[in-house]
């Protein structure tokens, strides 16, 4: 992948491997790093003993690093005004963040399935969370790009720095860009969010990355990377066949596509 930013793999892309097997497989396949699905629907890292996590970290040091982990917790629950909702969500994130630090990971991803309102965008709610690693918000709904939700998100990002950043998912953002008649406004609002993005997932549920929205999202990230912004990119494969062989074939195809996007941006700039 000469000339292109390194491309990792999100563990959701592969089924049937425990963490040491996944790391050894990735190392053998030439995948430089792993994003680990860390919630109860993944490897449930918050419920693991420290000795197990330390052993996995030792494996990662001799294979490939785990650079980030993903939570099943939703941002809205984490900052809810209802303590019965907020307190369990915050405890889940604390446990997962502790596990992430033991594994050597640098961030924890939050789900963001429900757009914020001005009333729920309270950066102070994250102030005492004490995770020690940034929390990355992954926007799961085109409603995040309505004017009200967008303003609330920008306010939250501004108030919660450096604790809160963004994970950009190419499929979700492509959907937002192409599903709204006001997609020009969506594009402008997405451009305002890019400075907060730390991670990009090239997300493929089966159709590939051929849609124009994927290219718009990837090219924006490539331009940011070329300008010096650190954005860590990984493949997220959620198709029907997630055997190691199928996942590796998808990874290699998207690695070539990622390299081609870098080349196209470099050529256009020259």
Structure confidence at residue 56 (pLDDT): 98
Quick one: average pLDDT of 241-251? Answer: 98
Structure confidence at residue 121 (pLDDT): 55
Quick one: average pLDDT of 203-214? Answer: 93
58 φ/ψ angles, rounded to the nearest 5 degrees: -60, -40
How many Å apart are CA 162 and CA 154, to the nearest integer? 13
pLDDT digits (tens, 9 = 90+) for 25-37: 999 999 999 999 9
Sole residue written with tokens 């999202």: 217
Share of the chain above pLDDT 70, in %: 94
Structure confidence at residue 127 (pLDDT): 66
Structure confidence at residue 30 (pLDDT): 98
Quick one: average pLDDT of 221-248? Answer: 97
Structure confidence at residue 159 (pLDDT): 86
Closest CA to 149 of 122, 173, 117: 117
Residues whose CB falls within 8 Å of the CB of residue 66, separated by 6 or more in sequence, listed in order:
23, 33, 34, 35, 36, 56, 57, 60, 103, 104, 105
Share of the chain above pLDDT 90, in %: 79
Neighbours of 235 (CB within 10 A): 26
Structure confidence at residue 126 (pLDDT): 74
Q: 4-8, 44-48, 60-64, 139-143: which has the minimum mean pLDDT?
A: 139-143
17: confidence class by pLDDT, cuts 50, 70, 90: very high
How many Å apart are CA 22 and CA 16, to the nearest integer? 9
Six token digits for residue 230: 């650190």
Q: Compute the mean pLDDT over every residue in the chain, rounded to the nearest whole number.
A: 92
Quick one: average pLDDT of 106-124? Answer: 81
pTM for this predicted structure: 0.95
Residues 241 and 248 sit within 8 Å (Cβ to Cβ): no
Whether residue 2 is predicted with pLDDT greater than 60 in this model: the reply is: no
Structure confidence at residue 82 (pLDDT): 86
Whether residue 69 is predicted with pLDDT greater than 60 in this model: the reply is: yes
Q: Which residue has the higher pLDDT, 133 or 128?
A: 133
């Amino acid at each position: 992948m000469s000339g292109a930013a390194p491309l990792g793999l999100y563990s959701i892309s592969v089924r049937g491997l425990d963490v040491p097997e996944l790391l050894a497989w990735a190392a053998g396949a030439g995948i430089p790093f792993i994003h680990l699905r860390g919630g109860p629907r993944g490897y449930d890292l918050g419920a693991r003993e420290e000795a197990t996590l330390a052993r996995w970290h030792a494996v990662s040091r001799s294979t490939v690093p785990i650079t980030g982990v993903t939570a099943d917790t939703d941002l809205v629950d984490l900052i809810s005004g209802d303590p019965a909702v907020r307190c369990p969500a915050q405890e889940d994130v604390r446990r997962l963040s502790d596990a992430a630090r033991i594994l050597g990971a640098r961030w924890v991803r939050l789900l963001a399935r429900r757009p914020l309102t001005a009333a729920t965008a309270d950066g102070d709610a994250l102030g005492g969370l004490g995770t020690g690693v940034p929390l990355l918000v992954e926007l799961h709904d085109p409603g995040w790009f309505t004017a009200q939700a967008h303003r609330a998100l920008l306010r939250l990002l501004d108030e919660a720095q450096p604790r809160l950043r963004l994970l950009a998912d190419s499929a979700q953002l492509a959907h937002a860009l192409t599903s709204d008649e006001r997609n020009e406004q969506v594009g402008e609002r997405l451009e305002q969010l890019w400075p907060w993005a730390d991670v990009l997932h090239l997300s493929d549920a089966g159709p590939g990355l051929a849609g124009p929205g994927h290219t718009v999202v990837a090219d924006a990230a490539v331009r940011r990377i070329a300008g010096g912004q650190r954005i860590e990119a990984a493949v997220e494969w959620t198709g029907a066949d997630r055997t190691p062989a199928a996942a590796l074939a998808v990874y290699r195809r998207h690695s070539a596509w990622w390299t081609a996007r870098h080349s196209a941006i470099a050529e256009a700039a020259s």
